[in-house]
Amino acid sequence: MKKLYFLLFTVLISTISFGQVVINEIDADTPGTDMAEFIELKGTPNASLDGLVVVLFNGSNDTSYAAFDLDGMSLDSNGFFILGNTGLSPDVDLGASNSLQNGADAVAVYTANDSDFPNGTGVTSVGLVDAIVYGTSDADDTELLSGLGETVQYDESLNSANDTESLQLNAAGTAYETKAPTYRLENNAAVCELSLTTTTAICDDFTVNTDTYTATVDFSGGGTSSYTVTASSGTVDLTNGDPSTDASGTITVTGVTEGVNVVITVINGTLCNLDSTITAPVCEPAITLPHYEGFNYTVGADLGDQPNWSNFSGSDNPIDVISGNLNYPNLENPTGNSIHLEGGFIDSELVFEPATSGEVFASFIINVRDLSNITDLTDGGYFAVLGNFDARLWVHPDTDPVGTTYDIAITNSGSASSFSTQKFNINENVFIVMSYNISTGGISAWVNPDSNDLGGTAPTALLTDTDSSPSSLIDKFVLRQDSTGETPSIDFDELRIGTSWADVTPNLLSTSLFEANNFNIYPNPVTNGIVNISSNSNEAIKVAVYDILGKQVLNNTLTNNTLNVSSLNSGVYILRLSQNNNTTSKKLIIK
């Protein structure tokens, strides 16, 4: 009787031991010819697998098609055992190359020998330790389920990623999950490899009406699973990057309505469920004319990152803010810093409220520092643009790539042939005014106009061209860095944009007279939201208010000498005042 009890006790211990071995993971469908498939068992580290057999059942006839005896084998030091294709790394414990069918099929572990399961053996639960019935979008095999005592047929194609995902026992040991393989690792070691990073929101247009914008989010870690990309608004465009196929790229959503935040969601099932919320930009013009840009920004900063500016084309070598100023005789004194252009394939734009009639002027000072890199001797390159490439200003080496003089042209087209007869030297300040007439398509440029003409009416232009199909509006000024063979080294400063010659050529002398003309601003500081502005003239006063970053925050024309500033926060502002073709600037403090 003692021997009988001992034998019974031994069988009980063995049953408990085998009961601790589970099918931890199977990967039946892998890329190509399934040469990466495997079955992973898990149990007590280093435990013997003597007395166990792994049996594979075919759902087409619900009988066995392979059996692998585990006598003499054991779990590794982490409790794993791999039966799978040879060549997998780390090495498999028992080779079974390309033996695992895709489903509907089953894997079962029994306390038995391989001889007990010759091919064609019917499904049974006798001696069963563990089992999984699986498929790849197959209908449930009810005979396999009932014969193995299972209720769920698990789908390796659940996330439409059967090539790159496996079936893994969850942490509770109650069900299988479909996610990225964790070969010889804990199943919770699987992580979402995809990351969503930098976002942008760029207005498609800037009008006083409701516009649309384009949202983007960069990603990395793609190409390892099949992902579904959706957006809460707009249309998803994967032209510049599809996380299902590309390791990195940019997900784009077009046509999002201004004022509506968009959520971009990327999922591949239970492992990756990512989203990125992009805040809608304000697509109304922040600038009304006249506008002054003194480049009062941090030295070394990218111009495209500054208020009112954006980089809209290209990505190499942004336009930099540099220290110092450029000036021109009798032109109003410069403020802030300046910027530097050179070859680099990037365009930065400043968008303003569209002018739909009349003439738009832009003025600025340039200093060409170096021409030696220019290889395009036909027409050089254009660097300043008014409108949607409606008027383009060109710099062209006069001699050869290492010359020290240049001439200037203005065109409506992408080439230039008619250049100024006057030559200009490197390292000298040159004051330029350019204009576009919306009614006629007329394009004009003035170079170093006489000081007596500043602040008055426009003299005869030095250069002209005509747009044969006049634009219906002008709403932007563009600074262009083309190739290194077309764009010289240029310092640029004192940008002014307006609808009259006087707007962009403020005369320092007339400004001084204007300031001396009993011009009053009171109270200053402002405490009640109202500031009074008066002069000896009865003419209307144009007032533009700028914050300390140079962003225009108010624009008004006064007829009763009263300006309402109650919408502005406390701080220091600059008033730009125009009257009778004269312009001046004053500091305003709001408490």
Top pLDDT among 470 and 33 is at 470
For residues 419 and 309, membership in a common domain is answered with: yes
Query: Which of 454, 485, 506 marks a domain boundary?
Result: 506
pLDDT in tens, 399-445: 765 689 999 999 999 999 889 999 999 999 999 999 999 999 999 99
| CA 391 – CA 381 distance, rounded (Å) | 13
DSSP 8-state class, residue 159: T
**Backbone φ, ψ for residue 189 (5° rounding):** -80, -15
Query: Which of 123, 154, 189 marks a domain boundary?
Result: 189
Nearest CA among 296, 288, 294, 274 for reference residue 363: 294
CATH number, domain of 180, equals 2.60.40.1260
Q: Please give the helix or strand (H or E) that residue 22 lies within, else none.
A: strand 22-27
Q: Is the pLDDT of residue 543 over 90?
A: no
CATH number, domain of 524, equals 2.60.40.3080
Residue 308 banded pLDDT, cuts 50, 70, 90: confident
The whole-number average pLDDT for the span 536-558 is: 79
pLDDT, position 3: 35
pLDDT in tens, 199-233: 999 888 766 678 899 999 999 999 877 899 999 99
| CA 487 – CA 317 distance, rounded (Å) | 13
Q: Is the pLDDT of residue 272 over 90?
A: no
The whole-number average pLDDT for the span 371-399 is: 93
CATH number, domain of 473, equals 2.60.120
Please report, rounded to a whole number, the percentage of residues in the chain having pLDDT higher than 90: 59
For residues 548 and 501, membership in a common domain is answered with: no
Most distant pair of Cα atoms in the chain: their distance: 127
Q: Is the pLDDT of residue 519 over 80?
A: no
Terminal Cα distance for the chain, rounded: 102
Instruction: Please report which residue ranges of 381-529 form alpha helices under DSSP H.
Output: 501-504, 508-516
Per-residue tokens: 585: 């600037």
For residues 104 and 29, membership in a common domain is answered with: yes
For residues 393 and 523, membership in a common domain is answered with: no
Q: Please give the helix or strand (H or E) that residue 545 lies within, else none.
A: strand 541-546
Per-residue tokens: 442: 């007329």
- Domain presence at residue 221: yes
The answer to whether the pTM exceeds 0.75 is no
Nearest CA among 499, 588, 508, 520 for reference residue 548: 588
Residue type, 108: A
- Domain presence at residue 5: no
For residues 410 and 550, membership in a common domain is answered with: no
| CA 173 – CA 251 distance, rounded (Å) | 37
- Domain presence at residue 398: yes
Residue 14 banded pLDDT, cuts 50, 70, 90: very low
- Domain presence at residue 285: no
DSSP 8-state class, residue 138: P
Polymer length of the chain: 591
For residues 437 and 334, membership in a common domain is answered with: yes
Whole-Å CA distances, 68 to 37, 65, 82, 465, 489: 15, 11, 12, 86, 75
- Domain presence at residue 11: no
DSSP 8-state class, residue 420: -
Whole-Å CA distances, 492 to 113, 364, 495: 86, 7, 8
DSSP 8-state class, residue 165: -
Top pLDDT among 513 and 256 is at 256
Q: Is the pLDDT of residue 475 over 70?
A: yes
For residues 258 and 364, membership in a common domain is answered with: no
pLDDT, position 400: 60
The whole-number average pLDDT for the span 18-44 is: 88
Please provide the DSSP assignment of 250-318 as one string. EEEEEEEETT--EEEEEE-SSS-EEEEEEPPPP-S-S--SSEEE---S-TT-BGGGSTTEEEEEE-SSP
For residues 299 and 201, membership in a common domain is answered with: no
Q: Output the CA torsion sign for 424, 342, 287, 412.
A: positive
Vertex 357 angle, CA 353 and 363, to 5°: 65
Task: Give the other-Cβ count within 10 Å of 476's Cβ.
Answer: 21
pLDDT in tens, 107-136: 999 999 999 999 999 999 999 999 999 999
- Domain presence at residue 4: no
| CA 49 – CA 73 distance, rounded (Å) | 5
Residue type, 173: G
Please provide the DSSP assignment of 194-243 as one string. -EEEEEEEEES---SS--EEEEEEEEES-SSS--EEEESSSEEE-TT--T
pLDDT, position 509: 60
Q: Output the CA torsion sign for 227, 264, 255, 482.
A: negative
Residues with Cβ within 8 Å of residue 428, at least 6 apart in sequence: 367
Vertex 412 angle, CA 406 and 415, to 5°: 50
Whole-Å CA distances, 139 to 133, 458, 487, 503, 578: 11, 82, 66, 77, 80
Specify the number of domains making up the chain. 4
For residues 225 and 104, membership in a common domain is answered with: no
Domain that holds residue 461: 291-506
For residues 328 and 457, membership in a common domain is answered with: yes
**Backbone φ, ψ for residue 8 (5° rounding):** -60, -40
Per-residue tokens: 420: 């100024």
Per-residue tokens: 430: 């040159």
Query: Which of 473, 506, 539 marks a domain boundary?
Result: 506
For residues 459 and 497, membership in a common domain is answered with: yes
Instruction: Please report which residue ranges of 93-186 form alpha helices under DSSP H.
Output: 142-147
- Domain presence at residue 8: no
| CB-facing half-sphere around the CA of 584: CA atoms within 13 A | 22
| CA 182 – CA 444 distance, rounded (Å) | 69
Per-residue tokens: 185: 């690792």
For residues 370 and 475, membership in a common domain is answered with: yes
Nearest CA among 201, 330, 311, 196 for reference residue 265: 196
What is the distance of C-alpha 391 from the center of its chain?
A: 30
Residues 386, 364 contacting (CB under 8 angstroms): no
- Domain presence at residue 40: yes
pLDDT, position 208: 60
pLDDT, position 518: 57
